Amino acid sequence: MASFIQLLVSGLATGAIYALIAVGFTLLWQTSQTINFAQGEFVMLPAFFVLAAMNAGASFWLAALIGIALSIVILGVLFKVIIIDPMLKYGVLPLVISTIALSLFLKESVKDFYSSQAQPFPALVPAIDIHVFDAVVSTQSLAVLAVAIVTVVALNLFLNKTRVGRQMQATAQNATLARILGVSVGRMALYTFLLNAVLVAIASILVTPIYLAKFTNGETLGMAAFIAAIIGGFNQVRGAILGGVILGVLDNLSAAYISSQYRGAFPLIILIIVILLRPQGLLGRIEERSV
């Protein structure tokens, strides 16, 4: 029972991180028809921004802010303006291919220009073990969980209670209708990219202490984001959160019971099962195209 609680807590923490990444991914798809195959690398990269800032002398918290700011500029604004906007007129396929190339580009750039070795990354809080009913839970997991929950709640408040947030949702559901109602669709799209940049930066800071900063982080994290988004239902933000949490918990539980050699296979098998049995995901609706 004790180990189950441990696994559950760490699973929720991982799941919360997956949820943040998956939500950003889903928002980009909903609002701008952008399937961002480089989402994993987007999570890998901000940690390196932080490390670089720290190498230049900044304290961890300052470096974290710098990392988030750089993320907003590069992964938000530049990504949209330089890569996405010129491609929209060609349709979804060239866009997906471009983000595939981007993921390769980012991964190799970090490998070649920073380091191919895993770098340690400072945790948010010192790792102390707390004892809860016999179970040993690390403060790190709790901190991650806390930050992730706060972020998700803040996100929900933003999307549902603020005018801009509601406009973003309207654009995501029906851009044409939103435009008729006076919403600046182009601006909403930009905000979505900025929002994604913030989410991936936060996720990066939360997850990198565990994984260490390595150029290959994007592979597993990206895959986790896609699977979480698909499990939840590709076009639902709530679904992305649910999918992320489910994936995190199942992943951690399975780690205890499946051989380490096939550790990475479990999420992939979940993906294949979901696609086979319920391709629209848990919360998604089967989409139709009218003419």
Partner 1 sequence: MTRLAGVVVTGAALAAVVAPFFLKPFGIFLISTWVVLTIAAIGLNLTLGYAGQISLAQGAFVGIGAYTVALLTPMGVPFFAAFIVAGLLCFAIGWVLGYPALRVQHHYLAFVTLAFSTLVFLVLRNEEWLTGGIYGIAGTPRPSLFGWSLGGARDFYFLCLGVLALLSLATWWMLRSPWGRAFVALRENPIRALSLGLDTRRYTLMAFAIGSSLGGLSGALYAPLVQFIEPNSFTLNLSFNLLLMVIVGGSGYFFGPFLGALIAVLLPEWLRVTEGYYLIVYAAAVMAMMAFCPTGLLGLIERTAKMLRGRRKAAVTQALTEGAGP
Partner 2 sequence: MTAVLEVSNLRKAFGGVVAVAGVSFEVRTGEILGIIGPNGSGKSTLFNCVLGQLQPSAGEVRIDGKLTTGMRPCDLNRLGVSRTFQLLQVFPQLSVRDNLILAGQEHQGSMASRLFGRADAGLGDAAGQMIEFFRLAHLADEPAGALSYGQQKLLDAAMAFMAGPRLVLLDEPAGGVNLTMLGNLRERLHAYHAERGATFVVIEHQMEFVMALCTRVLVLAEGRLIAEGAPQDIRRNPTVIEAYLGH
Contacting positions for partner 1 (CB under 8 A)? 29, 35, 37, 83, 86-87, 90, 92-98, 100-102, 104-105, 108-109, 112, 219, 223, 226-227, 230, 234, 261-262, 264-265, 267-269, 271-272, 275-276, 279-280, 287, 289, 291
Q: Which is nearer to partner 2, 93 or 256 (CB)?
A: 93
Contact predicate 196/28, CB 8 Å: yes
Give CA–CA dist 19/232, Å, rounded: 10
From partner 1, partner 2, none, interface partner of 101 (C-beta below 5 to 8 A by class): partner 1
Measured from the CB atom, the residue of 131 and 289 that comes closer to partner 2 is 289
Best CA proximity match to 35, nearest among 82, 102, 110, 109: 102
Please, what is the minimum distance in Å from the beta carbon of residue 274 to partner 2?
Answer: 22
Q: Which does 136 bind (CB under 5 to 8 A by kind): partner 1, partner 2, none?
A: none
Asked if 124 contacts 140 with a C-beta cutoff of 8 angstroms, the reply is: yes
Alpha carbon distances (Å) from 83 to 10, 24, 86, 179, 181: 36, 17, 6, 24, 28
Among 20, 1, 6, 2, smallest CA distance to 252 is for: 6
**Tokens standing for 122?**
């400072």
What is the separation of C-alpha 263 from the centre of its chain, rounded to a whole number of angstroms? Answer: 20
264 makes contact, choosing from partner 2, partner 1, none, with CB < 5 to 8 Å by partner type, with partner 1
Taking the least distance from each CB to partner 1, the nearer of 137 and 274 is: 274
Name the minimum Å distance from CB 132 to partner 1.
35
Q: Please state the closest distance from residue 244 (CB atom) to partner 1, in A.
A: 15
Task: Give me the least distance between CB of 205 and partner 2, in Å please.
Answer: 38
Q: What amino acid is encoded at 51 in this protein?
A: L
Binds 69: which of partner 2, partner 1, none (CB < 5-8 Å by kind): none
Q: Tokens 């909403």 identify what position?
A: 188
Q: Residue 30 or 141: which CB sits closer to partner 2?
A: 30
Closest approach of partner 1 to the CB of residue 20, in Å: 19
- 95's contact among partner 2, partner 1, none, with CB below 5 to 8 A by partner kind, is partner 1
With CB under 5 to 8 Å by kind, the binding choice for 223 among partner 1, partner 2, none is partner 1
Q: Note the residues at the interface with partner 2 (CB under 8 A).
A: 286, 288-291
Paired residues of 129 in beta bridges: 138
Rounded Cα distance between 233 and 282, Å, is 6
Q: How far is the CB of 265 from partner 1 (least distance, A)?
A: 5
Angle among Cα 13, 16, 17 to the nearest 5 degrees reads 95
CB 234 within 8 A of CB 26: yes
